[in-house]
């Protein structure tokens, strides 16, 4: 009997070719397809995998786990890699890799494989998780190893081996989709001066076509987690999907950045993440109201570190878990409502309220009912300046 390998299969060209390539290396290939809300046709992709020769193709619905255990913790932390990228792809990798390890154990596989290139971050995120969760599994990265160095040669290989594919020799961009975001890279975007054209807009409306009417929405949070839109409760996956639709219609959630990959390459990335942009704005606005100054500051410092851990593939580490525990403590009072206005790519916070608000009108007001004793300010400032006075 052939040794078994579990392959992270997307239905795309690389991983379709990888099935055959691994079979030729003597493996029985079990495919694992993760549904993280990419909206692709998993049924026909599964059919194709079996036709190519995979002995099984398991589809795992990971959407709820993704949002509850990966996306919302990152939201609570406020993590944005290099201040801009919400880590949509990065967060999905440890989740998918962990699910693959479970399949590998169940199937008694001896090896595990993914379709990432040797230039990206995703190979690191997959493999670190494999090493942490199943150190004895052999890891194979066909795309890093094979002689098929161009897209054309992969397509020729597919034709020679009767591999059914949907792709053509021309491919405009490399696109990764899940329900927290879409990343578009490669092709013409490799020129950092080239303005992304309409063919790079996947779900978001370009500003020219975005709704010309502003829309107000209210998002309700409980312990740092969004639970309702306009007073109506939603499950976590539905809530994100709904905000993606609303935000996209207003052109909200585009990011265009030069990003530093872990392997030392700068790359030009275009992202779409409407729900994320709305929720980060709303969550931050609520924290401004309920957290004290020192916690906010300390939390900001941790959120940057957290974004690096996620980006660098270090999800399953003691530091990430410890930061999550700290963050959960900070979120105990992050409950309340935020009103936002969406208009032509903008997310504008218009109002916020919470039963735990630390805002005291009687202290802040310049009008009636002021209780702040302004005479105390002089002594405060005298002492504040004392160490620096000549």
Active site residue 324: no
Give 77 or 121: the residue with its C-beta nearer to ligand ARG. 121
**Options 34, 80, 90, 155; binder of ligand ARG; rule CB under 6 A:** 90
Asked if 183 interacts with ligand ARG (CB under 6 A), we say yes
Coarse DSSP helix, strand, coil percentages of the chain, rounded to the nearest 5 percent: 45, 20, 35
With beta carbons less than 8 A apart as the criterion, state whether 17 and 24 touch. Answer: no
Active site residue 296: no
Give 269 or 277: the residue with its C-beta nearer to ligand ARG. 269
With beta carbons less than 8 A apart as the criterion, state whether 19 and 115 touch. Answer: no
Nearest distance from C-beta of residue 376 to ligand ARG, angstroms: 51
CA 15 to chain centre: 22
Give 121 or 220: the residue with its C-beta nearer to ligand ARG. 121
Asked if 357 interacts with ligand ARG (CB under 6 A), we say no
Token pair of 340 as six digits: 């936002």
With beta carbons less than 8 A apart as the criterion, state whether 6 and 104 touch. Answer: yes
**Options 269, 272, 277, 287; binder of ligand ARG; rule CB under 6 A:** 269
**Options 89, 123, 220, 276; binder of ligand ARG; rule CB under 6 A:** 89
**Options 98, 127, 154, 176; binder of ligand ARG; rule CB under 6 A:** 176
Active site residue 14: yes
**Options 16, 77, 121, 123; binder of ligand ARG; rule CB under 6 A:** 121
- Per CB under 6 A, the segment of 69-77, 173-181, 215-223, 232-240 that binds ligand ARG is 173-181
Give 175 or 342: the residue with its C-beta nearer to ligand ARG. 175
Distance (Å, whole) CA 261 – CA 44: 33
**Options 175, 189, 286, 334; binder of ligand ARG; rule CB under 6 A:** 175
Asked if 174 interacts with ligand ARG (CB under 6 A), we say yes
Residues near ligand ARG (CB under 6 A), total: 10
- Per CB under 6 A, the segment of 27-35, 169-177, 290-298, 382-390 that binds ligand ARG is 169-177
Asked if 154 interacts with ligand ARG (CB under 6 A), we say no
> Which neighbouring-strand residues pair with 255?
271
CA 270 to chain centre: 13
Asked if 185 interacts with ligand ARG (CB under 6 A), we say yes
With beta carbons less than 8 A apart as the criterion, state whether 227 and 345 touch. Answer: no
H helix count then E strand count, the chain: 14, 14
Token pair of 190 as six digits: 């490799």
Asked if 77 interacts with ligand ARG (CB under 6 A), we say no
Collapsing DSSP states into helix, strand and coil, what is residue 346?
A: strand
Collapsing DSSP states into helix, strand and coil, what is residue 301?
A: helix
- Per CB under 6 A, the segment of 106-114, 174-182, 187-195, 212-220 that binds ligand ARG is 174-182
232, containing H or E segment: strand 232-233
Give 143 or 163: the residue with its C-beta nearer to ligand ARG. 143
Active site residue 370: no
Least Cα distance to 178 among 368, 33, 78 occurs for 33
Give 79 or 175: the residue with its C-beta nearer to ligand ARG. 175
With beta carbons less than 8 A apart as the criterion, state whether 116 and 122 touch. Answer: yes
Distance (Å, whole) CA 303 – CA 329: 14
- Per CB under 6 A, the segment of 1-9, 168-176, 206-214, 230-238 that binds ligand ARG is 168-176
- What one-character-per-residue DSSP string does 163-219 give? ------S----EEEEETTEEEEESGGGGSTTSPP-GGG-SSSPPGGGS-SS-EEEEE
Catalytic residues: 14, 93, 122, 174
Positions that interact with ligand ARG (CB under 6 A):
89-90, 121, 174-176, 183, 185, 259, 269
């Amino acid at each position: 009997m052939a040794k078994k390998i579990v392959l992270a299969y997307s239905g795309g060209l690389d991983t379709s070719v990888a099935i055959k390539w691994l079979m030729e290396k003597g493996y029985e290939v079990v495919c694992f397809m993760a549904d993280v809300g990419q909206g692709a046709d998993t049924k026909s992709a599964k059919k194709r995998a079996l036709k190519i020769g995979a002995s099984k193709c398991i589809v795992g619905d990971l959407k709820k786990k993704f949002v509850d255990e990966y996306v919302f913790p990152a939201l609570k932390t406020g993590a944005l890699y290099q201040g801009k990228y919400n880590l949509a792809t990065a967060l999905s990798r440890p989740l998918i890799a962990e699910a693959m390890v479970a399949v590998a154990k169940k199937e008694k596989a001896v090896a595990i494989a993914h379709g990432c290139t040797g230039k990206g971050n995703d190979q690191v995120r997959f493999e670190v998780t494999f090493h942490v969760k199943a150190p004895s599994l052999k890891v194979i990265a066909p795309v890093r190893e094979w002689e098929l160095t161009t897209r054309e040669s992969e397509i020729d290989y597919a034709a020679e081996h009767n591999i059914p594919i949907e792709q053509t020799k021309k491919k405009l961009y490399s696109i990764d989709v899940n329900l927290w975001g879409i990343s578009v890279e490669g092709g013409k975007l490799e020129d950092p001066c080239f303005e992304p054209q309409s063919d790079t807009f996947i779900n978001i409306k370009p500003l020219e076509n975005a709704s010309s009417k502003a829309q107000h929405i209210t998002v309700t949070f409980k312990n740092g987690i969004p639970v309702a839109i306009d007073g109506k409760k939603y499950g976590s996956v539905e809530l994100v999907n709904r905000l993606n639709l609303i935000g996209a219609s207003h052109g909200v959630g585009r990011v265009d950045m030069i990003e530093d990959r872990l392997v030392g390459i700068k790359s030009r990335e275009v992202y779409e993440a409407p729900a994320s942009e709305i929720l980060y704005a709303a969550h931050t606005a609520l924290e401004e109201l309920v957290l004290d100054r020192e916690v906010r500051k300390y939390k900001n410092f941790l959120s940057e570190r957290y974004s690096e851990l996620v980006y660098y593939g270090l999800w399953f580490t003691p530091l990430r878990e410890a930061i999550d525990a700290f963050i959960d403590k900070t979120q105990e009072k992050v409950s309340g409502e935020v009103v936002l206005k969406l208009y032509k790519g903008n997310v504008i916070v218009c109002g916020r309220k919470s039963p735990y608000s630390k805002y005291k009108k009687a202290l802040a007001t310049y009008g009636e009912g002021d209780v702040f004793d302004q005479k105390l300010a002089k002594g405060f400032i005298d002492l504040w300046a004392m160490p620096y006075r000549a």
